[in-house]
Amino acid sequence: MHENEFIAYLKESLYKKDLNKIIFSRTAASGKIREPLRKTYIFYKELIEWNKKINLTAITEPFEFIERNIIDSLMVFKILDGGFYGENNLKLLDIGSGAGLPGIILKIFNPEAALYSIESVLKKCAFQRYAARKLGFENFYCINENIYKIYELPKVNAIITRAAFNVNELFHLIDSLKMKNFEPPLNLILFLTNPKDANAVANGKYDDKSLYIDKILMYKNNNDKDKKFKQIVNFKITNK
């Protein structure tokens, strides 16, 4: 797919999901509306090229990639009020980031953000670092390590993951996050498949922290064949 066709479809998808005002609010004044769209195409093109050698994604068809990976990632802008466009710059920790989703997509559209990407597979981390150089990122760090083996995490104000954790794994993950490493109230953004999981996570028993649900976003992908709702939940984490 040519760049112009990719960008045209992406823009159409942004309008369908009412993301256009959020996405373009900062770039319109500077006349750089096309810049994040062009960089998204570069990221997709490089990912597909690397995917021929290492397994980065099962979704390679461009329209499907836009809907299920790019738009999914950008839906976070609807749920994290202020974190991306507030006075304080976003400092994001993306856990189990794989090929860089959603973190790299979010940074493309908010280049001022600091992104710490945790990925235990070295080849996937190598791709992320390559893509970051290609996209001209500053304040980007791919940490090639298992999240549970990192003694001290960077100080961030938001954590996100699209990785497939079950509820018990999420309890363990959240309990392992020591509040001394973060800036409370901390945003925790989870992509959940089971609607009941949000309440289960919020009501979990944690050693040094409390959770409550800030926002839940339910949505469907454009032209999604299975017509199932997806769910993104933003939790606030505070000290006990």
Domains and CATH numbers, the chain: 72-239 (3.40.50.150)
Contact present, 69 and 40 (Cβ < 8 Å): no
Pairing label, strands 230-239, 209-219? antiparallel
18 phi-psi bin (left φ>0, alpha ψ -120 to 50, beta other): left
**Sign of the CA dihedral running 135, 136, 141, 143:** positive
pLDDT (0 to 100) of residue 85: 46
Q: Which residue has the higher pLDDT, 234 or 220?
A: 234
Q: pTM for this one? A: 0.93
Q: For residue 223, name the pLDDT band (cuts at 50, 70, 90).
A: low
Q: Is the pLDDT of residue 27 over 70?
A: no
d(CA 181, CA 49): 36
pLDDT (0 to 100) of residue 195: 82
Cβ atoms within 10 Å of 195's Cβ, excluding its own: 12
pLDDT (0 to 100) of residue 164: 81
Contact present, 143 and 150 (Cβ < 8 Å): yes
Burial 4-43 (b: 16+ CB within 10 A, else e): eebbebbbebbeebebeebbbebeeeeeeeeebbbbbbeb
Q: Is the pLDDT of residue 106 over 50?
A: yes
User: Residue 202 is which amino acid?
Assistant: A
Q: Is the pLDDT of residue 54 over 70?
A: yes
| Continuous segment of H or E residues that includes residue 143 | strand 140-143
Q: Is the pLDDT of residue 26 over 70?
A: no
Span 130-147, mean pLDDT? 97
